[in-house]
Amino acid sequence: MLIILLILIVDQVSKIYVKTHFQYDEEVMVLGTWFRLHFLENEGMAFGMKFSEHSFGKLALTLFRLIAVVCGFFVLKSLVKKKYTKGAIVCGALILAGALGNLIDSIFYGMIFTESSYHVSSLVPFGQGYGSLFHGIVVDMLYFPMVNTFLPHWLPIIGGKHFTFFDPVFNLADMAISTGIITLLVFQKRFLGIDQKNKTIATEKSEQ
């Protein structure tokens, strides 16, 4: 689908640009202080969550992503074939595109980029990068600390502590996955029903 291709292109272009133009942990203000580009790399799942500290954990996570993407393609194909609503199909496409975007990082980035720890990374010939196949690190850069304050001292336990919302740094692929899942949860009754209009048209055509 076109939506999957567009998300993949924007996601990969943004990641490659940030990785080859930003030093690690470098930050640029985009809109005031509440929207920033902040380059980080994530060895785990979405929004900085880790599956394991060991290299085996990284490999297992990449393989899990690969299986999820393959299954996602078949699920999306089934949604289209069974004439589910456009909303359900679009949400499925968002989730699949996001998963595929981060999978590309996990599989290939270690093979084609130098490390970003002490200098700006650069593209290198395949196999001369910082890691091995299936051990790449996902690039994150979107940071929205819209609330950055200290909590009132009268609050029990957490009073006086620094509070930031939204603190995790993420990427467009993460955003696509979250948008697809949240939209499905909110509109599940409307989206997860078969499109009766399309079903009727398909039935009429088959009877002719």
> Which residues are identified as catalytic?
140, 174
What span, in angstroms and rounded, lies between the C-alpha atoms of 143 and 38? Answer: 6
Helix count and strand count (H, E) for the chain: 6, 5
Question: 40 near 25, Cβ under 8 Å?
Answer: yes
What span, in angstroms and rounded, lies between the C-alpha atoms of 207 and 189? Answer: 29
Q: Burial level of 70, CB count in 10 A (0-12/13-18/19+)? A: exposed
